[in-house]
């Protein structure tokens, strides 16, 4: 970012799900841009622990009390909040319709959808005070429907996309911009768990850029959407980062 002033220096940023992958890459990018960071993780901080001067906050985002506590602790540690990045989420498992239990439905939607609502609600007073912004993380599967066994995750991410657009209209009078980043197939631990090498190779061959994405490929979209200088007139948008895998 040397030589480019994004207007982010000193901005107070909370990134949820920042221990690995996309969240950790976003944390490094925001740190390089001069932001003050609070980084959430679920069990271990992993890569987040290497981000200089960041406040590390532990919590299970399938538990709404944890979501509210983490946001409150971040606001207290940073003395306010300018940017909320809702990245925490997980597929939980590939669950076909015939095998879905009520408990699995609840956990997938709690972790991927309800936690976003809870975090936005908890952060709202601080964001109103700063006229800040929200950057949610959805998924290519919110539009494509995903692959077999990902119906719950895909539907939860579709909720996040629609919630993003609705909040953008609702919060515009407060000067709060709300957007989302929608990653395609990104080579992170997520796909190490849920996709076979054969499936990933088949996907790669269909991508116009002929490669899977990296977590770092997504980082610029977060900086762009958080930057008042670059995207001050951008709200209600879903930025697709997928190498041409989906061109809506």
- When comparing pLDDT for 20 and 189, which is higher? 20
57 within some domain: yes
Torsion of Cα atoms, 30 then 32 then 37 then 41, to 10°: 70
Q: Which two tokens stand for residue 71?
A: 């946001």
Paired residues of 181 in beta bridges:
137, 239
Residue 79 near residue 55 (C-beta atoms within 8 A): no
- The mean predicted confidence, pLDDT, of the chain is 96
Q: Dihedral (C-alpha) 122, 126, 127, 130: value to the nearest 10 degrees?
A: 180
Residues 94-123 have a mean pLDDT of 96
Set 41, 153, 194, 224: catalytic member:
153
**What is the pLDDT averaged over residues 7-28?**
98
CA dist 166 and 3 (Å) reads 35
Q: Taking residues 135-150, report their average pLDDT.
A: 95
Concatenating the DSSP letter of every residue in 90-154 gives: -------GGG--HHHHHHHHIIIIIHHHHHHHHHHHHHHHHT-EEEEE--THHHH--STT-HHHH
- CATH number, position 100: 3.40.50.720
Give me the mean pLDDT over the 125-148 stretch: 96
pLDDT of 1 reads 45
Q: Which residues contact 21 (CB under 8 A, 6 or more apart)?
A: 186, 188, 189, 190, 215
Domain assignment of residue 189, yes or no: yes
Report the alpha-carbon angle 61-179-53, nearest 5.
55
Please write the tens of the pLDDT for every residue from 180-198. 999 999 998 887 787 889 9
Let me know if residue 87 belongs to a domain.
yes
Question: How many other C-beta atoms are found inside a 10 Å radius of the C-beta of residue 211?
Answer: 12
Kindly state whether residue 38 falls inside one of the protein's structural domains: yes
CA separation for the pair 133, 171 (Å, rounded): 10
- The total domain count for the chain is 1
Is 153 labeled as catalytic in the residue annotation? yes
Parent domain of 69: 12-241
* Mean pLDDT value of segment 166-172: 98
Residue 240 DSSP SS3: strand
pLDDT at 194: 73
Integer Cα distance of 248 and 142 in angstroms: 12
Q: Judge whether 119 and 73 are in contact, CB under 8 Å.
A: no
Q: What is the pLDDT of residues 29-71, one digit of tens each?
A: 999 999 999 999 999 999 999 999 999 999 999 999 999 999 9
Rounded distance between C-alpha atoms, residue 92 and residue 85, angstroms? 21
Task: Report the pLDDT averaged over residues 152-164.
Answer: 98
pLDDT of residue 201: 94
199 or 23, which is more confident?
23
pLDDT above 70 (res 3): no
Give the 3-state secondary structure of residue 183: strand
Is 24 a domain residue? yes
Task: Output the six-digit token pair for 146.
Answer: 């995903």
Whether 108 maps to a domain, the answer reads yes
Write down the pLDDT at residue 2.
53
Beta bridge partners of residue 178, listed in sequence order: 134
Q: Has residue 133 been placed in a domain? A: yes
What pLDDT score was predicted for residue 98? 95
Q: Does residue 167 lie within any of the structural domains? A: yes
């Amino acid at each position: 970012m040397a030589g480019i002033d994004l207007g982010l220096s000193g901005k107070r940023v909370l990134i949820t799900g920042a221990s690995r992958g996309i969240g950790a890459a976003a944390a490094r990018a925001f740190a390089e841009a001069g932001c003050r960071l609070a980084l959430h993780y679920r069990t271990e901080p992993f890569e987040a622990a290497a981000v200089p001067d960041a406040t590390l906050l532990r919590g299970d985002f399938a538990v709404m009390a944890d979501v509210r506590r983490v946001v409150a602790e971040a606001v207290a540690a940073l003395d306010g909040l300018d940017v909320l990045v809702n990245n925490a989420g997980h597929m939980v498992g590939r669950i076909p319709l015939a095998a879905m239990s009520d408990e699995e439905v609840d956990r997938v939607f709690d972790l991927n959808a309800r936690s976003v609502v809870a975090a936005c609600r908890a952060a709202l007073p601080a964001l109103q005070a700063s006229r800040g912004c929200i950057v949610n993380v959805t998924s290519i599967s919110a539009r494509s429907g995903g692959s077999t066994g990902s119906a719950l995750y895909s539907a939860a991410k579709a909720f996040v996309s629609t919630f993003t657009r609705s909040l953008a209209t609702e919060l515009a009078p407060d000067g709060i911009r709300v957007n989302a980043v929608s990653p395609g197939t990104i080579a992170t631990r997520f796909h190490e768990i849920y996709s076979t090498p054969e499936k990933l190779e088949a996907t790669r061959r269909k991508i116009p850029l002929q490669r899977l994405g990296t977590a770092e490929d997504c980082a610029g979209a977060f900086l762009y959407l958080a930057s008042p200088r670059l995207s001050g007139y951008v709200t209600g948008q879903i930025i697709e980062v997928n190498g041409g895998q989906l061109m809506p």
